[in-house]
Structure 1
Amino acid sequence: MFKKHIIYKHDNYNMLTVEVQGKTLVVREISDQWGEECHNFISRPEMMEWARRRFRPDDFPGGEEAYNQTIDALRSV
């Protein structure tokens, strides 16, 4: 059984989840613009590097605060 973490969920069409599948981290990014994208990482540092490149504070409705909450949630996985 895999451990699933909900990083954020704005609604049913905009969310980010992480599943821990043994040593692999599977990030599912669902958006109303792009549909579902799946990213596989073999380490947490690799996932965090992707997150820093992928997200900017102005991507989030809550700005810098929502961005920091998202990064903190990813870091805690």
Structure 2
Amino acid sequence: MIKKHVIYKKDKWNMLTVEVNGKQLILREISDQWGEESRTFLSRPEMMHWVAERFPKEKFEDNPEEYEEIIAAFKQV
């Protein structure tokens, strides 16, 4: 059974979801700039490493609440 987690969804063109399919974590990021990107991780630590690179805390200095929400959502996966 696949379990889907919505990390964020700003509108139908800007969203990030993670599907848990057994041991695989399938991350899908849709943006109006880049289209759809899909990544498959084999472990949560591997995914969280990607998250740390994709969402550096410095990028959210003016909005730390958004950063905390995104990281908390990933930790729920």
Q: Normalising by structure 1, report the TM-score.
A: 0.90
Kindly report the root-mean-square deviation, in angstroms, between the aligned alpha carbons of the 2 structures.
1.4
Map 1:44-63 to 2 at 5 A.
Answer: 44-57=44-57, 58=59, 63=63
How far has the Cα of 1:68 moved from its partner? 1.1
**Number of the residue aligned with 1:67:** 67
Q: Distance in 2 between matches of 1:27 and 1:65?
A: 22
**Number of the residue aligned with 1:2:** 2
State the one-letter code of the partner of 1:45: P
Runs (4+) of structure 1 exceeding 6 A deviation are none
- Structure 2: runs of 5+ lacking an equivalent: none
How far has the Cα of 1:67 moved from its partner? 1.0
- Name the SS for the 1:37 alignment partner: strand
State the one-letter code of the partner of 2:14: N
- Structure 1: runs of 5+ lacking an equivalent: none
How far has the Cα of 1:56 moved from its partner? 2.9
**Number of the residue aligned with 2:16:** 16
Q: Normalising by structure 2, report the TM-score.
A: 0.90
How far has the Cα of 1:76 moved from its partner? 1.1
Number of aligned pairs?
Answer: 75
